Amino acid sequence: MAISLPPKVYLACGITDMRNGIDGLSALVEEKMNMNILESAVFVFRGRRADRVKLLWWDGQGMCLFYKRIENGRFMWPVTQNGTACLTKAQLSMLLEGIDWRRPIWTDKASFK
């Protein structure tokens, strides 16, 4: 079974208590981010040590929760005034791999000739 993520990705900037489960994170989305948890979006949260993230989304049948702890490195997180950042699915993939998605380096086509 493949996991399909919604097209929109929102980061909850700042630190989130990683003891929160589905209900606690859903409340953060509704109250702090002022967003509808049932929107077709993935909501991403990071812990204090920056080595853990949780992703929360509605798949049409129920709430899904994904948890990742990275063994080496940290998850790169922005600081914003409104407390929320919007990412693409490609940026989310980089973030989950531990890559600094804020400054990716693209290769030049000329370098492959």
- pLDDT, tens only, 29-81: 999 999 999 989 999 999 999 999 999 999 999 999 999 999 988 888 877 77
Specify if 107 maps to a domain: no
More confident residue, 77 or 1: 77
Report which of 48, 47, 35 is spatially closest to residue 9, judged by C-alpha positions.
35
- The parent domain of residue 67 ranges over 8-101
Residue 23 resides in a domain: yes
Q: How far apart are the first and last CA of the chain?
A: 39
73 within some domain: yes
Residue 29 lies in a domain: yes
Number of domains in the chain: 1
Q: Judge contact between 9 and 45, C-beta under 8 A.
A: no
Residues 6 or more apart whose Cβ sits within 8 Å of residue 48: 15, 18
Is 106 inside a domain boundary?
no
Q: What is the value of pTM for the model shown?
A: 0.85
Binned at pLDDT 50, 70 and 90, residue 16 comes out as very high
d(CA 74, CA 32): 24
82: β partners: none
Q: Is residue 108 part of a domain?
A: no
For residues 61 and 21, give the distance between their C-alpha atoms in angstroms, rounded to a whole number: 18
58 within a domain of the structure (yes/no):
yes
